[in-house]
Structure 1
């Protein structure tokens, strides 16, 4: 696109302050985007800045409406751009209460000149696509334009610090007053729930690999729509060749590999944010203040006015009265006291640049140098490289606290004393990690760090008591089982293990349940037990018994399937392959099976209904991806029998199916982006992106990978131009 044409097109877009005006950018002639037949963009750039421009352009083309919605929300202006709803007002209030816009502007000023230029190029790419193809964007999405270099910074802070870090901390009931016992229970249940976030990650060393080459499995589980959506791409520029994925709206790859190394993330059990109970008092002028170390301090006050777009296009206003303490923003009241939130990492503005350095590193030394910056406030890191090194790292900002354990900090701590107010974080050297362990692999499935290299466990006693809790999930146990059962793992075997639908919980508890039903069960419970006895313990489409077992699991382990109090033997870090186990109360377990049978008969008319008859792979291709589309009928007719299942049943191939509607459950979360990499020269990689690489209405690339999901297959990563051109959908020249 000519520079003059771009300027004229942008002139018609909404005005932004001159201080944030986006600088024009014209990519070097010869830069290209090649889109393959699965809708994956392969970017061929003449410079690094050109690469960022192409990536912004490609994101706008594949996810334009979702991208602009995400940026509007991260600006705290969703109620202004779109239409005010209780949810949008709450979201905007959260952004402004936590100073995301102002802090992001400060972060932008602190970027290096080079990286700031890359952010400007990324924003220019988005604007260039919007100017050239305005018809592809919704009218409400276009209100967010133009995009500036501030937007990816603002969105990254909103997404990571105030969605993941703060969101993990703010799960009710941990935010409310509770005893120490219920605090720790609430915290552990919060961490173990698979509903909102989760991932699998493996790194296999040459000593445990059949080929003698290191291997990496990247397998994040997040929502199948909205701001958690992944976008897959290949980057090629002078000295740069990277493949991977990131959330829509971010300008760098968070899950990536290059010709030398690769890394993935899982959500960790980090406590990088805390809640403080503020004790109010009167100041000398009669206004309200708060106590801190015996002194009366004044609240910091700020007023902000939200513009609320009404259905008729007019605007109303809502004034926010925001209070802050030295801890952070006051976010709610509890038992009459203000509660302030303190989030880690708000003094670290270089997260995006760190990711760029991680993805462009050439070896472990360079990668570790980038990792040591600790600019990302959370996430486990699992790493492998062609030299054979592997690493597990419990990453993020763990506050350096003076005292207290996980249970103490899970509650609301006193805010009237400096003894609880932290200012610093543990260093890279102080955080849990495992590098090149003798067992030949590292893994994580969102559990605490202690068994990352089982049986070479990290000892929790060597770390502060507030570092992380101690528990395990059956998905973790399935992971350990599969990694340790073979002396050597081939690439093909790793793929098979990744796609395993076996329920570890069934292997652990089903014999005891069948015995309990035989001794204590009603006739209906015994009929149910007969179905479970014939079940293959898989969650394949034709598995009969899995639906019934899922219903029983919700009875036995609670709605989130994470409570482990009904087991006879509790979990032991020293014996994860056999604990927890047994039935504490066999008669109660048999009664639960009877209740599960009643539910299954009511919902489906049979105890042996096939898994794939209930669990369906469906995507509404007309959805712009802003929210999870309600179930069907799928507008484009894509409705396939599902496989895979709930992580808390011990299924490694996690697909979290949503609420039952018309006898059907459809995915809301789980296996999205998957990359299996073997570090040969060049690397060999197989990929999957369940919900496709585009969320634009009507795009065939939103649903065309569902058949791969149904068939439990993956596609070859196209890692050179010849391979891309052999599977070319279209080419765009700049």
Structure 2
């Protein structure tokens, strides 16, 4: 009799979770502060999520809709041919199938939160029909929405890099040095000049678009109270600060994806061999609807026991296997992290082991600091080379089980009093004598083992302080100087670029001397920084292969010549500054922008016309958190690249830009009374 009763309880639980929550719009308060940042107050978590959806839609509804269309495989109906490849990859990964299998086991409170959020989006769409991009956006099924979040995390895990390499015939490889990423610092009271624990949240993300951070504060009467950053379409905060604790994410580069080559032959069409047995290759036809084309287009997707499968130009079949495609619970875990009130609860949230990646840097008012190179890491068979393409003809490479959290690299309260990560090795996270030994961890996890320019510079700066103050921490985070020995972000030694003999190459003497005399500071007035920036982005034109050998003298000369010729062609002179070349652009305006890839105040850029570059990624949402000695709410200062609104006519379209470029911050708070007292506007959703 017990089993039917349990089944009935589970069904009732699931049925209640599937029902839309009761939303009292008149009890939802949206308070916009002087920078337009929304603070959402309501009795229940679903009502707060409803208000968040409404507020974010007011600011960036168009971008949110692109995420919703992605989850339906309908992005092509909005973006045309640009959206069709995304629709195909979404269909190939088939995350909706996993959601359907797992959603009944999810926390009903989480599902109610998501339902509240989706109700808010739909309500905004009904109230503003002219802003709805097409008929495919609404209604939104919760399964489609969660499938979209799975897809987004899989992209972070490297699917977008692995698939093109398979399709053009090259072999996927592990990431090397990269100029992109994020920074995070945690300071314990023993290292703090005032005896107060501190945390830095510093995402390096695109500054506009689907993965640009939006700042918001959500507070319910059920205990949910957090301020921080989220992406368009997010129903909660991805990293931020609560009254008791704070955390930051940075991207980590351990091995999160495996690629298998299947064994096929002409005698067994539509099959592949595993352990001597020929198995059917599952086929699914992905239907693509493309704006401007009156009929649908179909493309074949495949699936093996290893995972989603694609066919290379040479006719070989490759399968992808990712932990992120096996677990639909990442968003649920973030919700548990959002609601944590102490380290024990936060650690319990991490132990759900749904998040397949991201470093996590943590600090709290109880003076705990914590860092973990988080991931959903499988137990891999040591007989195989997991850094290369794997044989897809044996179940010996078919991993199924995952490591518990305690087997991942992590630090809790090191004696040195500090932890930091800038997308570098988890084995270089604190004082040298306390760093973890990589030999104690599974080498097949593929953890980073290197410093990058930011980590080396951060360590150099931290080591200059006996105690770190609030303003010191800001100076470290906002630093724009490369270390004395530059680690070339392409992953090879390019020191010869700085040691060329000007007498030997007199026509290039100005560039050679400029690089030699450059102080490695990337301010807008710097000419040396401009030379290096052009060389950095021009290196791929000089070295077109993937060799990691040191840059040769002849290559360095060719690269220097490229810098020289570029400047004379586009500027007619060689004394051009970084700020003339590198710009921050918002709408129709642009401004000189300091920084460079892989400095702590990172700036990545893309061409703007033929003679300039504009920032497209790098230092984005930045937060400083300090937990006062005497208790009370944390002190919070933040800044975002532009502003809360994506609408050019809004005064909040770029009202944080000046602060951002001056490396200054705005004061934020979790205090409801103070927020309501000083709010620019207070209202309810229509």
Counterpart residue number, 1:9: none
Question: What is the root-mean-square deviation of aligned Cα atoms in Å?
Answer: 3.0
Which residue pairs with 2:255 in the alignment?
A: 271
Deviation at 1:173, TM superposition (A): 7.5
The equivalent of 1:4 in structure 2 is: none
**Hey, what's the Cα distance between the residues in 1 that align with 2:110 and 2:95?**
20
1:82 alignment partner, SS class = helix
In the alignment, structure 1 residue 160 sits paired with structure 2 residue 142: no
Say whether the 8 Å CA contact 1:323–1:329 is kept in structure 2: yes
Matched, 1:645 2:596: yes
Q: Does 1:606 align with 2:573?
A: yes
Residue equivalent to 1:297: 279
Structure 1 residue 74 and structure 2 residue 71: aligned?
yes
Pair 1:94-2:76 in alignment: no
Give the corresponding residue for 1:250: 234
Distance 1:27 1:59 in 2: 19
Contact 1:175 1:275 in 2 (8 A): no
Asked if structure 1 preserves the Cα contact closer than 8 Å seen for 2:542 and 2:555, the reply is no
C-alpha separation in 1, matches of 2:639 and 2:160: 28
Does structure 1 residue 60 correspond to structure 2 residue 11? no
Q: Is the 8 A contact 1:277 1:412 kept in 2?
A: yes
Q: Distance in 2 between matches of 1:508 and 1:411?
A: 25
Give the equivalent residue in structure 1 for 2:317.
338
Following TM superposition, by how much is the alpha carbon of 1:163 offset from its aligned partner in structure 2, in angstroms?
4.7
Cα distance change, pair 513–527 in 1 and its aligned pair in 2 (3 A): farther
Match of 1:122 in 2: 117
1:552 and 1:307, CA in 2 relative to 1: closer, same or farther beyond 3 A?
Answer: closer
Give the stretch that moved more between structures: 338-347 or 502-511. 502-511
1:657 aligns with 605
* Partner SS state of residue 319, structure 2: strand
1:112 alignment counterpart: 107
Q: Which residue of 2 aligns with 1:524?
A: 507
1:717 aligned partner: 668
Q: Secondary structure at the match of 1:340?
A: strand
Instruction: Give the secondary structure class of the aligned counterpart of 1:309.
Output: coil
CA distance in structure 2 between the aligned counterparts of 1:175 and 1:344, rounded to whole angstroms = 24
Taking the aligned partners of 2:671 and 2:383, their CA distance within structure 1 comes to 53
Q: Which residue of 2 aligns with 1:361?
A: 340
User: C-alpha distance in 1, partners of 2:661/2:544?
Assistant: 25
Cα distance in 2 between the residues matched to 1:207 and 1:560 = 48
| Cα displacement string for residues 668-698 of structure 1 (whole angstroms, at most 9, x for unaligned residues) | 1111111111122321111111032222453
Partners of 2:637 and 2:673 in 1: CA distance: 17
For the residues of structure 1 that align with 2:538 and 2:612, how far apart are their CA atoms?
A: 20
CA distance in 2 between partners of 1:511 and 1:302 (Å): 47
Which residue of the partner structure matches residue 439 of structure 1? 416
Change (3 A) 1:358 1:512: closer
User: SS where residue 386 of structure 2 aligns?
Assistant: helix
Map Cα deviations across residues 278-335 of structure 1 (whole Å, 9 max, x no partner). Answer: 112578xx65311000111112233343333326xxx311223332111112123264
1:391 offset after TM fit, Å?
1.3
Distance 1:724-1:241 versus aligned 2 partners, 3 A rule: same
- Choose the corresponding residue for 1:502, options 481, 487, 491: 481
Correspondence 1:14-53 to 2 at 5 A: 23=20, 25-27=22-24, 29-53=26-50
- 3-state DSSP of counterpart to 1:57: helix
- Superposed CA offset, 1:192-214 (max 9, x none): 233xx511111111121111111
Distance (whole Å) between structure 2 residues aligned to residue 62 and residue 381 of structure 1: 28
Q: Is the 8 A contact 1:218 1:675 kept in 2?
A: yes
Instruction: Tell me which residue corresponds to 2:636.
Output: 685
Alpha-carbon shift at residue 170 of structure 1 (Å): 4.2
Query: TM-score of the superposition, structure 1-length normalised?
Result: 0.83
Q: Is the 8 A contact 1:193 1:562 kept in 2?
A: no
**Residue 378 (str. 1) matches residue 357 (str. 2):** yes
Partner of 1:218: 201
- Distance of 1:24 and 1:390 partners within structure 2: 37
Q: Please tell me whether the aligned partners of residues 551 and 600 of structure 1 are also in contact (alpha carbons under 8 angstroms).
A: no
1:343 Cα deviation from its structure 2 partner: 1.4
Matches within 5 A, 1:222-233: 222-233=205-216
Conserved in 2, the CA contact under 8 Å of 1:56 and 1:251? yes
1:159 to 1:511, Cα distance in 2 relative to 1, 3 A: closer
Unaligned runs of 5+ in 1: 1-19, 568-583, 621-633
> How big is the shift at 1:512?
7.4
On the 8 A contact 2:337/2:349 being kept in 1, the answer is yes
3-state secondary structure, aligned to 1:129:
helix
- Assess, with a 3 A threshold, how the Cα gap between structure 1 residues 69 and 507 changes in structure 2: closer, same or farther: closer
- Aligned partners of 2:146, 2:375: CA distance in 1, in Å? 18
Matched, 1:706 2:657: yes
Q: Tell me how far 1:535 sits from its aligned partner.
A: 4.1
Query: Contact 1:380–1:393 (CA<8 Å) still a contact in 2?
Result: yes
Q: Deviations over 1:475-522 (max 9, x none)?
A: 221122222221111111111221111122567899976983446542
- Describe the shift of the 1:304–1:341 C-alpha distance in structure 2 as closer, same or farther (beyond 3 A): same
Aligned to 2:3: none
Deviations 1:526-575 (A, max 9, x none): 322443455443222222321012234456798899999566xxxxxxxx
Post-superposition Cα deviations, 1:446-496, rounded to whole Å, max 9, x if no partner, equal: 123221224132222111221224233212211222222211111111112
Q: Distance in 1 between matches of 2:168 and 2:258?
A: 10
Structure 2 unaligned segments of length 5 or more: list them. 1-16
For 2:543 and 2:266, locate their aligned partners in 1 and report how far apart those are by CA, in whole Å.
Answer: 44
User: 2:5 maps to what in 1?
Assistant: none
In 1, Cα distance between the equivalents of 2:497 and 2:281?
61
- Cα separation, 1, equivalents of 2:282 and 2:262: 13
8 Å CA contact 2:533–2:596 kept in 1: the answer is: no
Change (3 A) 1:219 1:327: same
SS in 1 for 2:596: coil
Aligned ranges for residues 169-568 of structure 1 at < 5 Å? 169-170=162-163, 172=165, 176=169, 186-187=173-174, 190-194=175-179, 197-238=180-221, 239-281=223-265, 287-310=269-292, 315-333=294-312, 335-403=314-382, 408-455=385-432, 456-467=434-445, 468-504=447-483, 516-518=499-501, 521-532=504-515, 535-554=518-537
The alpha carbon displacement at 1:344 in A equals: 0.8
* Conservation of the 8 A alpha-carbon contact between 1:22 and 1:124: no
Distance 1:548 1:606 in 2: 12
Q: Deviations 1:326-351 (Å, cap 9, x if unpaired)?
A: 11121232643211111113332322
